[in-house]
Amino acid sequence: MNRPSTSPASPSPSPRPLLLTMGDACGIGPEIAVAAWARDRGADLRLVGDVAVFRRAVGILGLDLPVAVLEQADDLAPPDCLPVWQPPGLPADLVDQPLGRVSAAAGAAAARCIVAAVHEQQAGRSRALVTAPIHKEALHAGGIDHPGHTELLQALCADAQGQLPPVRMMLANDELRVVLVTIHVALRQAVDQITTGRVLQTLRITDAALRRAGLDAPRIAVAGLNPHAGEGGLFGTEEIEHIAPAIAQARTLGIDAHGPFAPDTVFMRARHAPPRHVGEFDAVVAMTHDQGLIPVKYLGVEEGVNVTLGLPLVRTSPDHGTAFDIAGTGRADPSSMAAAIRMARAMSA
């Protein structure tokens, strides 16, 4: 029997929690957030989003799970109750938006949850942020100018002078870590963004993040942009003019960077799947979005995690999208969300 009834929250604050945002209310985000919480039931987890939407997700999953409505994001919930904090300003009719459809209300609500969760972390009331998938078209329809999570988070973390922190996307699973030099831009624009400075900055961000994750001397491979890494200039000169110089500069800074390597083989060399295959590198720096994400996702989206590097806060997310085609069916796999929770815990320990 489904019991999504409201239970009073405890007035006593808990240790700084991990905040799980609901993502797009018309996609699978609420379902995988609820399912991952139900698997984990960690006292450090709080869901951020619309209470009615999460109640619907509980019903879709057929769970016997009361919902505790929290007054503050770091309040404690009664045992075995789904802890939900609803930030102010969410659309009143959010639960009425049709599942599996692009909705401006859902896009605006997803952004509002992200903003509220970031403010909680910036205020010291949360130690990490785990975000469920958003839909970029819905985000745009909701009046949000940023194309995705990464760019919105970057804007929210600007300093007092309005300077944006340099950020990079890392997609990781148990076998491979990939960091991107360029992210959500057209491929023609991405090529123009591959400069010595940007590649070097990516290497510095990657090295620092891996060291914070516990690797004393991370080994970083760098993929070329062109076929065969340019073949000495026959297929393009970006490797000669920008990528190789950035690697050389990084090595003078004590970064163990290597390459540029042919993009069609470097990911296989870095893949760590013992005992059959021990990776030569701890991460690969890829030049463009699809160059880097295809090999990671090919290994399986079930355990993949998206991490935003360079922010003054910890943020992870599943490595898949809103899956409108199965929203509301209860068939969405929460494994990637569960992996994102585990990585957020590890990175914020």
Measure the CA–CA gap between 283 and 271, rounded to whole angstroms.
9
- 320-325 long-range CB contacts below 8 Å, 24 or more apart? 320/133, 321/27, 321/133, 321/135, 322/23, 322/24, 322/26, 322/27, 322/28, 322/29, 322/133, 322/134, 322/135, 323/27, 323/28, 323/133, 324/26, 324/27, 324/99, 324/100, 324/101, 324/135, 325/100
List the structure tokens of 43: 């006292």
Q: How far apart are CA 69 and CA 145, in angstroms?
A: 31
The pLDDT value given to residue 184: 83
First-to-last C-alpha distance (Å) of the chain = 37
How many Å apart are CA 54 and CA 70, to the nearest integer? 13
Q: What are phi and psi of 99, to 5 degrees?
A: -65, 145
How do residues 70-122 score in pLDDT, each as one tens digit? 999 999 999 999 999 999 999 999 999 999 999 999 999 999 999 999 999 99
Token pair belonging to 76: 């404690």
Q: How many CA atoms lie within 13 A of 311 on its CB side?
A: 26
Query: Which letter does DSSP use for residue 91 in this model?
Result: -
Is-contact 167 198, C-beta < 8 A?
no
Per-residue pLDDT tens digits for 288-345: 999 999 999 888 767 789 999 999 999 999 988 999 999 999 999 999 999 999 989 9
Average pLDDT of the chain is: 92
Q: How many CB atoms lie within 10 A of CB 314?
A: 22
Contacts (Cβ under 8 Å, ≥6 apart) of 208: none
- How would you label 48-74 residue by residue, b for 16+ Cβ within 10 Å and e otherwise? bbbbbbbbbbbebbebebbbbbbeebb
Q: What is the pLDDT of residue 301?
A: 67
The half-sphere exposure of 90 on its side-chain side, counting CA atoms within 13 A, is 27
Residue 304 makes CB contacts below 8 A (sequence gap 6+) with 171, 172, 173, 296, 297, 318, 319, 320, 336, 339
Q: pLDDT tens, 195-223?
A: 999 999 999 999 998 998 788 999 999 99
pTM of the prediction?
0.85
